[in-house]
Amino acid sequence: MRVGVVGLGVIGRAVCRALDAGLPGLALAGATARDRPKGERFLAGLRTPVPFLTLDELVTRSDLVVEASTQAHLEEIAPKALGAGRDLVVLSCGGLLGRQDWVALAASTGCRIHVPSGAIAGLDGVKGARVGTITSVTMETRKPPEGLAGAPWVVERRLDLAAIRQETLIFEGPATEACRAFPANVNVLAALSLAGIGPEKTRIRLYAVPGQQRNAHRITVEGEFGRLAVEIENVPSENPRTGKLSYLSTIALLRDLGATLRVGT
Show which residues are catalytic: 217
Residues with Cβ within 8 Å of residue 154, at least 6 apart in sequence? 148, 161, 170
The C-alpha atoms of residue 177 and residue 151 are separated, in whole angstroms, by 13
Sheet holding 87-90, edge to edge: 27-32, 2-6, 64-67, 87-90, 113-114
On the CB side of 118, CA atoms within 13 Å amount to 25
The C-alpha atoms of residue 214 and residue 233 are separated, in whole angstroms, by 6
Q: Which of 238, 162, 185, 163 is nearest to 171 (CA)?
A: 185
Phi, psi of 35 (to 5 degrees): -95, 95
CA-to-CA dists, residue 67 to 55, 82, 89, 132, 232, angstroms: 11, 12, 6, 32, 24
Residues for the chain: how many in total? 265
201 burial level (CB within 10 Å; 0-12, 13-18, 19+): middle
CA-to-CA dists, residue 198 to 179, 190, 191, 226, angstroms: 13, 9, 10, 19
Q: Determine the angle formed by the axes of helices 123-130 and 187-195, rounding to 10 degrees.
A: 30
